[in-house]
């Protein structure tokens, strides 16, 4: 009996295995070819490339195909070797890759959008191609007939797209910061709900079908974990980036989330811990610790003959406090605060060293990441960036 490969947690510092260079413009997306020493990439320079590792140890293109328009995104299905490519002109072009990955054969084109395609998903179980575009349209097509099955207009340009096969729910994140959930049927869709938790636009989505949680990354530097399956409305914030979160990936077997930022930061979050929701910020006209008035509370300022103070909030308890009563800082990893944040003095004293133990590791990719792909079986983390480079670090 063959031994089963057990994916290992991402604990070590990434070691750069290879830099794949050659694209003339931004590499918008790159994926690892399963069971092969290979990478598929699409770029703004209109090229689709399949890079295979040669005996010299270097990656060279086995396929170099020029598209009629810049390549904005792609979806690759390893089982069928079907490659769907989204273009800047709104077209989705479908190809079939040969077994040796040395040839790509055109299959069909979908006139999916009026402008740039932003995301594509191919759903093998249903033979559907899902897509979003800068025309603020979500659409799905039948991959067998090429016919459009339906569409839905989003509130803003969508930049995140995920799908749950079991429930046929599609998750769409857009630039307004909203996440929309639709229920898809063969030729129609129903709006299930919308929710918003970010102060900036949603930049990436990631779905865990086992735990039934949705992760959303945002230009507000944060990641939010939404408990979709638990039906409790729980939303856990993860604060570990100093720049916009631009890409997400999830390792299901080890329950680790990988988030990548515009500053090149890669954060690996341990999601196998009991995390806590951040409290809502309380409203008050005076400090809820010392009762000093805030600067807009003119009546209390006049009655007490005291100068009003600036309002702050404790990140642990949510109370409205003045600067004097919140002079301390602390990390609160179980609440998602890996960096030190403002807490009131009493909460600072109550936080133990164990509660300050990190639940994430931080790494520098040294390039502006626009997409990430993780191969759990081999522990490979593939990043592509605005510097026209693909990096293949080993975890």
Domain boundaries, the chain: 16-279+363-393, 298-356
pLDDT for 22 equals 65
Instruction: Examine the pLDDT at 347 and tell me if it is beyond 90.
Output: yes
DSSP 348: H
User: Is 318 strand, coil or helix?
Assistant: coil
Give the model confidence (pLDDT) of 265-314 as tens digits. 999 999 988 888 888 889 898 898 998 888 776 777 677 777 667 888 99
Tens-place pLDDT, residues 181-205: 999 988 789 999 999 889 999 999 9
β-strand 235-239 against 189-196: which pairing, if any?
A: unpaired
Contact present, 141 and 147 (Cβ < 8 Å): yes
Which residue did the predictor score with more confidence, 326 or 12? 326
Average per-residue pLDDT in the chain? 87
Mean pLDDT in residue range 324-334: 91
Q: Which pLDDT band, with edges at 50, 70 and 90, does 6 fall under?
A: very low
DSSP letter string, 242-280 = SS-EEEEEEETTTTEEEEEETTSEEEEEE-SS---PPPP
Q: Look at residue 3 in the predicted model and tell me its pLDDT.
A: 34
Range with the poorest average pLDDT among 3-12, 24-33, 373-382: 3-12
Q: What pLDDT score does 11 carry?
A: 52
Q: Residues 79, 96: contact at Cβ < 8 Å?
A: no
Alpha helices per DSSP H over 244-379: 298-304, 345-350
Residue 91 has pLDDT above 60, yes or no: yes
CA gap 249, 257 in Å, rounded: 6
For residue 346, is pLDDT > 80? yes
**In 57-172, where does DSSP find H-type helix?**
none
Q: Which residues of 133-148 are buried (b: 16+ CB within 10 A; e: fewer)?
A: bbbbbbbbbbbeeeee
Is the pLDDT reported for residue 248 higher than 80?
A: yes
Is the pLDDT at 115 greater than 80? The verdict is yes
Residues of the chain above pLDDT 70, percent: 92
* Predicted pLDDT at 61: 84
User: Residue range 51-67: average pLDDT?
Assistant: 85
pLDDT of residue 7: 46
Strands 71-77 and 82-87, bridge-based pairing: antiparallel
pLDDT tens digits, 224-246: 999 887 656 678 899 989 899 99
* Tokens found for residue 175: 């630039």
- Domain 16-279+363-393 has what CATH class? mainly beta
Q: Look up residue 179 and give its DSSP letter.
A: E
Among 63-72, 105-114, 363-372, which is the least confidently predicted range? Answer: 363-372
The pLDDT score that the predictor gives to residue 276 is 86
CATH 2.40.30.40 fits 298-356, yes or no: no
Q: Is the per-residue pLDDT at 102 higher than 80? A: yes
- Rounded CA-CA distance 179/192 in Å is 11
pLDDT on residue 2: 33
């Amino acid at each position: 009996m063959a031994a089963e490969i057990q994916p290992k947690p991402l604990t070590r510092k990434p070691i750069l295995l290879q830099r794949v260079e050659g694209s003339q413009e931004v590499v918008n997306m790159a994926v690892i070819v399963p069971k092969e020493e290979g990478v598929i990439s699409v770029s703004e320079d209109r090229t689709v490339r399949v890079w295979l590792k040669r005996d010299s140890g270097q990656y060279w293109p086995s396929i170099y195909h020029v598209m009629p328009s810049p390549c904005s995104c792609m979806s690759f299905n390893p089982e069928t070797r079907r490659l769907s490519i989204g273009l800047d002109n709104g077209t989705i072009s479908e190809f079939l890759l040969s077994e040796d990955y040395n040839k790509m054969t055109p299959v069909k084109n979908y006139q999916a959008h009026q402008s740039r395609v932003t995301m594509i998903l191919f759903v093998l179980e249903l033979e559907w191609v899902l897509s979003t575009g800068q025309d603020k349209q979500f659409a799905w097509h039948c991959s067998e007939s090429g016919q459009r099955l339906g569409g839905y207009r989003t509130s803003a340009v969508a930049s995140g797209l995920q799908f749950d096969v079991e429930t046929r729910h599609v998750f769409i994140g857009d630039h307004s910061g909203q996440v929309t959930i639709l229920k898809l049927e063969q030729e129609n869709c129903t709006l299930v709900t919308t929710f918003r938790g970010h102060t900036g636009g949603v930049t990436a989505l990631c779905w865990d079908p086992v735990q039934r949680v949705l992760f959303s990354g945002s230009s507000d530097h944060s990641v939010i974990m939404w408990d979709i399956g638990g039906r409790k409305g729980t939303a856990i914030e993860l604060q570990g980036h100093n720049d916009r979160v631009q890409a997400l990936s999830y390792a299901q077997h080890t329950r680790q989330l990988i988030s990548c930022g515009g500053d090149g930061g890669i954060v690996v979050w341990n999601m196998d811990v009991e995390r806590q929701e951040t409290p809502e910020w309380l409203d008050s006209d005076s400090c809820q610790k010392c009762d000093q008035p805030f600067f807009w509370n003119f009546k209390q300022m006049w009655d007490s003959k005291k100068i009003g103070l600036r309002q702050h909030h404790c990140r642990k308890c949510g109370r409205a406090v003045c600067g004097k009563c919140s002079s301390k800082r602390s990390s609160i990893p179980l609440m998602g605060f890996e960096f030190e944040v403002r807490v009131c003095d009493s909460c600072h004293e109550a936080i133990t060293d164990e509660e300050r133990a990190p639940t994430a590791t931080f790494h520098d990719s040294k390039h502006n990441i626009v997409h990430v792909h993780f191969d759990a079986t081999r522990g490979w983390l593939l990043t592509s960036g605005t510097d026209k480079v693909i990096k293949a670090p080993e975890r």
